[in-house]
């Protein structure tokens, strides 16, 4: 009997990772409903906090800004899920969000949404793909010229 070979390539048809993709963490760093990884994006020359979490096996990234008042959501650094691990929760007034869509389903901003970012998981790592209006954070200021 002939060898059937290694089978179909699971990455066949997947476009290559964009050159400007930024590696955020190892895929294993994100546990289902667990601690998220914080990072920063730039908008209009300002640096804004963001985060990525894992929910139902997929990675999801958002700006770390509540839809009620633009305050960071995590009650301890990286802790975005409430105790059941089913919803993201804002530490300030308790708004709860669906982790996969960012839609607020309870609390003072019900019906509003978190700002979703494009993230991808591949080859054992998680990447943020910059898209307008969120680009890379501004570079640190250059040191003054040496006289
Ligand atoms: S600031 Fe998040 S619920 Fe009010």
Structure confidence by residue, pLDDT tens digits, 3-16 = 444 555 555 678 88
pTM: 0.85
Cα torsion 40, 45, 46, 51 to 10°: value is -20
Regarding the beta carbon of 67 and ligand 1, being less than 6 Å apart is answered no
| Residue 141's pLDDT band (cuts 50, 70, 90) | low
- Does residue 99 have a pLDDT over 70? yes
Ligand 1 neighbour 110 (Cβ under 6 A)? no
Residue 29 DSSP one-character state = G
Tell how far the Cα of 3 is from the centroid of ligand 1, in angstroms: 59
Pick the residue whose CA is nearest to atom 3 on ligand 1.
Answer: 93
Give the model's pLDDT for residue 93. 97
Tokens of 93: 């007034």
3-state class percentages of the chain: helix first, strand second, coil last, to nearest 5: 0, 35, 65
For ligand 1, atom 4, which residue shows the shortest CA distance?
A: 93
Cβ proximity of 48 and 41 under 8 Å: yes
Across the range 127-145, mean pLDDT stands at: 75
Look at 7 and 72; give whichever has higher pLDDT.
Answer: 72
Q: Which pLDDT belongs to residue 140?
A: 57
Res 121 pLDDT > 60: yes
Distance (Å, rounded) from C-alpha 1 to C-alpha 94?
62
Q: Where are the domains of the chain?
A: 22-128
Q: Which CATH class is domain 22-128?
A: mainly beta
Helices and strands counted in the chain (H then E): 0, 10
């Amino acid at each position: 009997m002939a060898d059937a070979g290694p089978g179909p390539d699971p990455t066949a048809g997947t476009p290559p990772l964009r050159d400007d993709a930024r590696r955020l963490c190892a895929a294993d760093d994100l546990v289902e409903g667990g601690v998220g990884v914080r990072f920063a994006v730039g908008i209009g020359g300002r640096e804004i906090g963001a985060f990525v979490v894992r929910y139902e096996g997929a990675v999801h990234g958002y700006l770390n800004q509540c839809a009620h008042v633009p305050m960071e959501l995590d009650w301890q650094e990286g802790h975005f899920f409430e105790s059941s691990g089913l919803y993201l929760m804002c530490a300030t007034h308790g708004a709860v969000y669906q982790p996969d869509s960012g839609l607020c389903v309870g609390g003072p901003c019900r019906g509003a949404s978190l700002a979703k970012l494009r993230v991808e998981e591949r080859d054992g790592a998680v990447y943020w793909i910059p898209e307008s209006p969120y680009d890379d954070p501004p570079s640190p200021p250059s040191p003054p010229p040496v006289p």
